[in-house]
Amino acid sequence: MFNILKQVSDYAKGSIQAAKYIGEGLSVTFDHMRRRPVTVQYPYEKLIPSERFRGRIHFEFDKCISCEVCVRVCPINLPVVDWTFNKAIKKKELKHYSIDFGVCIFCGNCVEYCPTNCLSMTEEYELASYDRHELNYDNVALGRLPYKVTQDPMVTPLRELGYLPKGVMSPHDLPAGSQRPGKRPEDLVKEMEAVSTSTNE
**Binding-site residues from annotation for [4Fe-4S] cluster:** 64, 67, 70, 74, 104, 107, 110, 114
- Nearest CB to ligand SF4, comparing residues 119 and 149: 119
Least separation in angstroms between CB 83 and ligand SF4: 8
Neighbours of 20 (CB within 10 A): 10
Using CB under 6 A, which of 40, 47, 58, 67 touches ligand SF4?
Answer: 67
DSSP 181: S
**Residue 64: φ, ψ to 5°:** -75, 135
Least separation in angstroms between CB 144 and ligand SF4: 16
Assess 147 for contact with ligand SF4 (CB under 6 A): no
Assess 51 for contact with ligand SF4 (CB under 6 A): no
Assess 142 for contact with ligand SF4 (CB under 6 A): no
Binding residues: 64, 67, 70, 74, 104, 107, 110, 114
DSSP 147: P
Assess 74 for contact with ligand SF4 (CB under 6 A): yes
**d(C-alpha 114, C-alpha 102), whole Å:** 21
Q: 144, 69, 62: which is closest to 101 by C-alpha?
A: 144
Q: Which residues pair with 92 in a beta bridge?
A: 85
Q: 147, 108, 107: which is closest to 124 by C-alpha?
A: 147
Assess 66 for contact with ligand SF4 (CB under 6 A): yes
Q: Provide the mask over 80-119, with x wherever binding to ligand SF4 is found by CB under 6 A and - wherever it is not.
A: -x-----------------x----xxxxxxx---xxx-xx
User: What's the distance, CA 57 to chain centroid?
Assistant: 14
